[in-house]
Amino acid sequence: MEKTLTADANLAAPPAADALNATTYPVIAAISFSHLLNDMMQSVLLAIYPMLKLGLNLSFGQVGMITLTYQLTASLLQPLIGLYTDHRPKPYSLPLGMGFTLVGLLSLSQAGSFEAVLVSAMLIGMGSSVFHPESSRVARMAAGSQPGLAQSLFQIGGNLGSAIGPLLAALIVVPYGQGSAAWFSLFALIGVVVLSFVGRWSSHHVANFRKRMKAHAANGLTRRQIGWSLAILGLLIFSKFFYMASLSSYYTFYLMDKFGLTLPHAQIYLFVFLFAVAAGTVAGGPIGDRIGRKRVIWGSILGVAPFTLLLPHVGLFWTGILSVIIGMILASAFSAILVYAQELLPGKVGAISGLFFGFAFGMGGIGAALLGQLADATSIETVYRVCAYLPLIGLLTAFLPTIKKP
């Protein structure tokens, strides 16, 4: 009995000073696994568009409205929710956000009209908008002295989930119909349980984490420097995610059009590229912890330019090699950019996380749409010739101030 009381007292007690600098890997693993579940379920909506279009007799314009509704709720709400929770921490908002996704999937499985699908898309988007800023904050909270590593491990969960979701949709929803989307709500239920434990851990650490962030708030930068730095980081996000959209959305079409590959053969190249992106995501954070965020940003944005400029002018073998190099280098940028932005405004971890996740999400969607229009108007090869110059925006990294470690 005494042992139980002692364990409960230790859990409720504030963490020791050493604990604040320690990396809590079980919490990071739990939040990464939850990110996998969240992004896997989010991608189900996009994967079953053909089924919804055919079953509900939707136009392409209505399909676009579904995407817009989802994007707006998933992107625009994130910084607002992050800003609110910076001032009023809500550790148990994580299972609540997963609950929105759960209800959205159940609603989607039974949606019999265009309006019902819009409501479902809105609920699924709201789940994502609550999850990302708060879970990124928890990853930073559990990071100790390795915030880059924590963000990389957190993000790899999302990458894996986005890749698995369409595959599961093809195996479950396509053969068994729209109603089978309800089975994915079981994953949401698992997420609610896992995030309830994460929320409990967060509730015992959030006060000390806020004190620690306030103690490190004085980074020696003026408001103007911080404002310009955030604007530059936004342009770097634009560069990265527009180029990534060209590869993730149109790489198979490029290979089929230029080299005459079959779809299955082209998909193998796409899989290899996505695997390289996952590897780069894992590597970027810990490298930034060791050598500094700014150096990683330099290398991952501007450093990829020689390879993107070469890509449209080489044969199939070197196209495969260059796409792997580009994927690994470019993917390493986001963790470094996000942690650098959090260090610019240490007391606004939730708002910064929501802003950058939302902006990145939006840029990927807008980039895919605009590049599709460019491909229709010209050719798929023109897309890669134009996008090859985007990494040169990385030259703006020269104007970012160096933030000293506290």
Summarize pLDDT for 276-291 with one digit per residue, the tens. Answer: 887 888 787 788 778 8
Domain boundary among 161, 193, 215: 215
Mean pLDDT to the nearest integer, 362-391: 83
Please tell me whether residues 247 and 386 are part of one structural domain.
yes
Task: Estimate the share of the chain in helix, then strand, then coil, as percent rounded to the nearest 5.
Answer: 85, 0, 15
Band of pLDDT at residue 2, cut at 50, 70 and 90: very low
Band of pLDDT at residue 1, cut at 50, 70 and 90: very low
pLDDT value at 11 more than 60: no
Please tell me whether residues 210 and 262 are part of one structural domain.
no
Please tell me whether residues 338 and 209 are part of one structural domain.
no
d(CA 62, CA 45) in angstroms, rounded, equals 14
Domain boundary among 215, 250, 274: 215
Whole-number pLDDT of residue 9: 40
Count how many domains the chain has.
2
Q: Is residue 383 part of a domain?
A: yes
Determine the 3-state secondary structure of 23 from DSSP. Answer: coil
Mean pLDDT to the nearest integer, 74-79: 79
Lowest pLDDT segment from 126-140, 249-263, 367-381: 367-381
Which has more confidence, 318 or 401? 318
Q: Is residue 309 part of a domain?
A: yes
pLDDT value at 218 more than 60: no
Please tell me whether residues 265 and 388 are part of one structural domain.
yes
Please tell me whether residues 191 and 275 are part of one structural domain.
no
Domain of residue 351: give its range: 223-399
For residues 15-44, one letter each, b for 16 or more C-beta atoms within 10 angstroms of the residue's C-beta and e for the rest, the string is beeeebeeebeebbebbbbbbbbbbbbbbb
Please tell me whether residues 302 and 175 are part of one structural domain.
no
Direct distance between the N- and C-terminal alpha carbons of the chain, in angstroms, rounded to an integer: 42
Token output for 358: 């939302």
Please tell me whether residues 170 and 232 are part of one structural domain.
no
Please tell me whether residues 292 and 361 are part of one structural domain.
yes
Domain boundary among 197, 215, 233: 215
Please give the C-alpha separations between residue 12 and each of 89, 107, 203, 286, in angstroms, as whole numbers: 17, 38, 9, 31
**In the 8-state DSSP scheme, what is residue 179?**
G
Mean pLDDT to the nearest integer, 84-107: 85
Would you tell me how many other CB atoms lie within 10 Å of the CB of residue 174?
Answer: 14
Please tell me whether residues 235 and 288 are part of one structural domain.
yes
Q: Is residue 5 part of a domain?
A: no
Band of pLDDT at residue 190, cut at 50, 70 and 90: very high
Q: Is residue 104 part of a domain?
A: yes
Q: Is residue 405 part of a domain?
A: no
Q: Is residue 139 part of a domain?
A: yes
- Return the CATH number at 187: 1.20.1250.20
**Mean pLDDT over all residues of the chain?**
81
Q: Is residue 33 part of a domain?
A: yes
Please tell me whether residues 100 and 75 are part of one structural domain.
yes
Q: Is residue 4 part of a domain?
A: no
Half-sphere exposure in the Cβ direction for 235 (13 Å, CA): 16
